[in-house]
Amino acid sequence: MEIKNESHNKLVQQITHCFPLYFICIHCNYHLHKQCAEAPLSLPNHPLHPQHSDVGFFLRERPRSFDWKCLDELPTKIDHLTHRLHPLILNRGDSDGLCNLCQKQHSGPFYGCSLCQFKINVECAWPRSIVEDKSRHQHPFSMLWRQGSFICDACDTEGNYISYICLKCCIIVHKKCTSLPRIIKFSRHDHCIFHKYFLQTQYLTRQDCMICFNEVKLDRGNYSCGKPGCNYVVHVNCVLEDDELYKVIEEEKQCEELYEKSMQSSIIRFIEMNEARKATTIQHFSHQHCLVLADKMEEEIDRKCDECMLSISTLFYYCLECPFFLHKTCAELPRIKQHWFRQGNAILLFKGFLECNFCDQRCSGFFYYIGGWEMCLRCAKVADIMKCEGHQHFLFIDFKYREKCNGCGKRCSNGAFRCGKCRFALDFGCLTLPHSTLHKIDEHKLKLTYDDDKEQIYCDICERQRDPSLWYYSCSICDTSAHPECVLRQFPFVNDGVTFPSYYHNHHHDLKFFRKVEGYLECFHCGKLCQEEILKCEESTCDNIIHCECSD
């Protein structure tokens, strides 16, 4: 902030309630009276309000409004360089409208021309003539009124009427682009990215934005990675659209410090290493015993990883003292990391039962807690830009997408990964389906299948017709095909013995989940035999048992 006196500008002074001294932000049109800026944050009491003197008074920001006395001192009619055909008339109403200069919605008084439907915010009527902030740009910007449009050199989008130019760099920008941050840490990229007015490269002839997948003009402003060999480039407006996804970095030396602090390993100690310097015995934060590396299960059963709840078919760690298994890749997941979904750290935690906020699957095991959101490990492993076996192009995350998913046909309620080249999109649930799984209907593993099959249009489990354009599980040897929900059932990612929350049932005791049950007891609700996915009361005096679907 800098202090200015009465000689600065009488009209701007009127806008800021006519006090001789005030503070003004060097980046935007934010003003504070000197006495308002120095006001205490709280008052113990006030003689005009004695009934709540024990509570006190606290300073709060009120919606921006104009003092009527000051408003009366503004000229009722002005000639403005941005609209030379007619004078602009002061409208004292409190209506909402779009300012033709800053292109922002505003409420309150404005200057306008009713003949041309032209409106400008009162503050935009007298913008600052010089903007200088050396932490953002090394030279001052000077205001230049324009009647025609221009292309901003900082963000490569169109501007009108008010532009700012740097005479030394020969660039022209929007007012808002005079203070673009030089360096930011974007949650969807591991490294810091830097604002450049142009990008010189002898190898790239075209580069697409890694957010919207449209072309980035390399001779215009963009944000790009400063690491050698990393070609990450994004549009300015794409990367700055959501301020929860980036953090402004004031000094370049902070970049490495930020990366180091954001990573914390889940492996507490490496106990034994092999000749290739790979850990064969480890101590993991999630388990009380040591874990040993293996590449094959001794028994022929479908073991699941206790972190992600997917079947184990590759290298894994296991406990010699109890049935605990982790994929090697899951064991190596950081306990604290940065995730592309949000700025701030994602923390690896454990829950017996949770509902993932992204794929909507009920599951047990580990998850990442990210700023109030719970993300299962299957979703956490998905990159924001990725290739999927069911589609030939790259897919990128779009949280605004609300059309149908091409995998299941349902409307995407949590956004989707969509293709920038064709109308293809997948929700988190389909994107994280197991690529293969076992089911009693077939002796072989069923594989997730993406191709249309107009010959096999019936599900071999429920015997109902299925949409051949949607994904399904199949066995090419036996010609089996089935809906994913029929193969995986209701709770494919919940561990045996997990206690279900009380809101899933109306029984007065805790109920535990079991995938299979011996003896085929009758369901207390529907009377049919219980064989798979049941909830069972563990109280010795109670033998309540129900199907999971009967608990809803």
pLDDT tens, residue by residue, 94-130: 677 888 887 788 878 889 998 998 998 888 888 888 8
Confidence of residue 418 (pLDDT cuts 50, 70, 90): very high
Q: Tell me, what's the pLDDT at 5?
A: 38
- Ordered DSSP codes for 335-381: SEEEETTEEEEEEEEEEEEEE-TTT--EEEEEEEEETTEEEEHHHHT
How high is the pLDDT of residue 328?
92
Q: Residue 336 corresponds to which tokens in the numbers above?
A: 């604290």
User: Phi and psi at residue 537, in whole multiples of 5°?
Assistant: -80, 135
pLDDT on residue 73: 74
**Tokens 């829950």 belong to residue:** 351
The confidence band for 88, taking pLDDT boundaries of 50, 70 and 90, is very high
What is the predicted pLDDT for the residue at 2? Answer: 40
Q: Tokens 């192009």 identify what position?
A: 393
Q: Which residues of 384-411 are buried (b: 16+ CB within 10 A; e: fewer)?
A: bbeebebbeebbbbbeebeeebbbbeee
Q: Which residues of 165-195 are buried (b: 16+ CB within 10 A; e: fewer)?
A: bbeeeebbbbbbbbbbbbbbbbbbbebbbbb
Helices (H), 141-214: none
Judge whether residue 49 has pLDDT over 60: no
Beta strands in 135-205 (DSSP E): 141-151, 158-166, 171-173, 183-186, 193-196
- Return the SS3 of 52: helix
Q: How confident is the model at residue 274 (pLDDT cuts 50, 70, 90)?
A: confident
Q: Confidence band (pLDDT; 50, 70, 90) for 20?
A: low
Alpha-carbon distance of 543 to 534, in angstroms, equals 13
Q: Which of 286-290, 459-463, 518-522, 525-529 has the lowest mean pLDDT?
A: 518-522
Tell me the H-state helices in 130-239: 236-239
**Please, which pLDDT band fits residue 165 given cuts at 50, 70 and 90?**
very high
Amino acid identity of residue 418, one-letter, is R
Strand partners of residue 316? 294, 327
Q: Is the model's pTM score more than 0.85?
A: no
Parallel, antiparallel or unpaired: strands 171-173 and 183-186: unpaired
User: Is the pLDDT at 519 greater than 90, yes or no?
Assistant: no
> Can you tell me which residue has the tokens 């299979």?
516
Q: Does residue 59 have a pLDDT over 80? A: no
How sure is the predictor about 70, in pLDDT bands with cuts at 50, 70 and 90?
Answer: low
Q: Which carries the bigger pLDDT value, residue 143 or residue 60?
A: 143
Structure tokens at 296: 């094959």
- According to the model, what pLDDT value does residue 28 have? 54
User: Has residue 62 got a pLDDT over 60?
Assistant: no
Alpha carbons within 13 angstroms on the beta-carbon side of residue 368 total 25
